[in-house]
Structure 1
């Protein structure tokens, strides 16, 4: 199993651990949505929150596993990549598919880590006397966004650049 796939599997385990922790810690009334300033503006039952967390995690994991499998089968003419004149040649296509699959595993891992962090933040907020999200929620989303954007920029500018001969 490649490094990116291991990260994805590890993020899945961490998400599952956060879900089990939430199962043990959530009260019957759970904050499920927050306004722009971090105030709770919607509540849910414990069961609904746990089902939602599980559906989000399983759905995200299935999405990225499905994308990796899809990338292995999609015709080359439907792949959009920088420098297609290089990457879509028959001698480079297998490597392109490996690189794209690895990128999907990394994006999947980042997404599962964000979802795990959201679970932890909801559990923490549910236990507060005066519940509010605080700065951690926007920070988690900001870090995720920066990581995803930085990876995408690196992919376009470096990862899929035409390798230099030699």
Structure 2
């Protein structure tokens, strides 16, 4: 692994995996009754079930996403150039040239790792909220983190596509 800022994205992703695992273990260790499995738009718990179901679903999806994001640096070199979407034809020609593909793969993997880290932190939050919910949940407890996540991912996407990250180098 190189010594660029990509190491920070990888560390953030591993940290978010650790947070999700710790949250799941906490949920399993401290919960002995039903937990919220579904919450409606008003915050009312509409379905309860086993903590194992909740951890299995959120943890399973989280594990699948983590494996995908952590494995990005392995599958990107096998991705055909025609499947890579970049901001312009000029950028595509530059970055898919054989001499630039390695740097492109590093940049793409780093971007996926940041998005993956944010996603797993959101999953950890949702897991903790569902475990601690009794009959209802304040709506802002779901809305604020989800809106913050969407804004962060959209903002990062705009930065990636419009901010010059993938502009051809001189």
TM-score of the superposed pair, with normalisation by structure 1: 0.88
Where 1:6 maps in the other structure, the secondary structure is: helix
* 1:9 pairs with 2:14: yes
Deviations 1:91-149 (A, max 9, x none): 22211111001111111111111111111111221xx3x43243111111111101100
Residue in structure 2 matching 1:161, options 150, 153, 167: 167
Deviations 1:37-78 (A, max 9, x none): 211111112222222232122122122234332212212232
Alpha-carbon separation, structure 1, partners of 2:155 and 2:116: 15
Q: 5+ residue gaps in structure 1?
A: none
Where 2:100 maps in the other structure, the secondary structure is: helix
Residue in structure 2 matching 1:46, options 40, 44, 51: 51
Does the CA-based 8 Å contact 1:33-1:43 persist in structure 2?
Answer: yes
Alpha-carbon separation, structure 2, partners of 1:66 and 1:6: 14
The residue aligned with 1:107 is: 115
Alpha-carbon separation, structure 1, partners of 2:73 and 2:31: 34
Where 1:42 maps in the other structure, the secondary structure is: strand
Q: Structure 2 matches for 1:49-128, cutoff 5 A?
A: 49-82=54-87, 83-125=91-133, 128=134
**What do you get for the CA RMSD once the two structures are aligned?**
1.7
The residue aligned with 2:146 is: 141
Q: 5+ residue gaps in structure 2?
A: 2-6
Where 1:91 maps in the other structure, the secondary structure is: coil
TM-score of the superposed pair, with normalisation by structure 2: 0.86
